[in-house]
Amino acid sequence: MKKIFIGITALALLVASPAPAGDNAPWLESYTAYYFAGDPVRDPSWLLVWEGTIQGDVNGVIRWWVDLAEWFPPDYVTRWEVLDCDPGDPSSCPYDPDDPDDPAPVIMAGYSAGTNFAPVGDVVEWSGKGIVTFVAPQYAEWFGRRTTEGGWYYLVGGGPTNGGGTFMIYDRPSNKH
């Protein structure tokens, strides 16, 4: 009976885990380290919440912007951006990719929806899922791909400070674009 249960469980995991789309299918997995920015530099309805490094299959700077109109704690909608900047100094990367005098080298960007989980002590865990909606020409095959992200951050004095986690782009397209 135990062998049958293990076999059924293994089969269920195999069916639930889609096979790679092929040898050339894009896949990105990176570790992120970030700090709370809390800076409404774009538009009063968007708040730059997290800024930090992304290291792994792509290296650079990652930023998460929260749409204040779609923020209903603990749930939120974000725009994330991966920029081709020095990960050693995220604050040196320009904010406005539309400003010709201060262009930001955006590699890819997209939107995600996520949630924060109840704090355990001074640590909050979070997760989100989304879609790649913009890519630089060299990353064209990643347009429309599914994303997942998540991690943790510290609370100090009731407010967020810094954290870390993962950011992944899957090798299969979304059916929502």
- Give the closest residue to 52 by CA, choosing from 92, 87, 80, 10: 87
Averaged pLDDT of the chain: 78
- pLDDT confidence of 141, banded at 50, 70, 90? confident
Question: Does residue 3 lie within any of the structural domains?
Answer: no
Number of domains forming the structure of the chain: 1
Question: Does residue 44 lie within any of the structural domains?
Answer: yes
Q: At 52, list the tokens.
A: 């930090």
Q: Identify the pLDDT of residue 145.
A: 92
- What pLDDT digit, counting tens, does each position of 144-154 carry? 999 999 999 99
Q: Identify the pLDDT of residue 166.
A: 94
Question: Does residue 131 lie within any of the structural domains?
Answer: yes
Rounded Cα distance, 96 and 32, in Å:
21
Q: Which domain holds residue 135?
A: 26-173
Write phi, then psi, for 10 (nearest 5 degrees): -60, -40
Question: Does residue 6 lie within any of the structural domains?
Answer: no
Coil, helix or strand at residue 27: coil
Q: Identify the pLDDT of residue 8.
A: 31
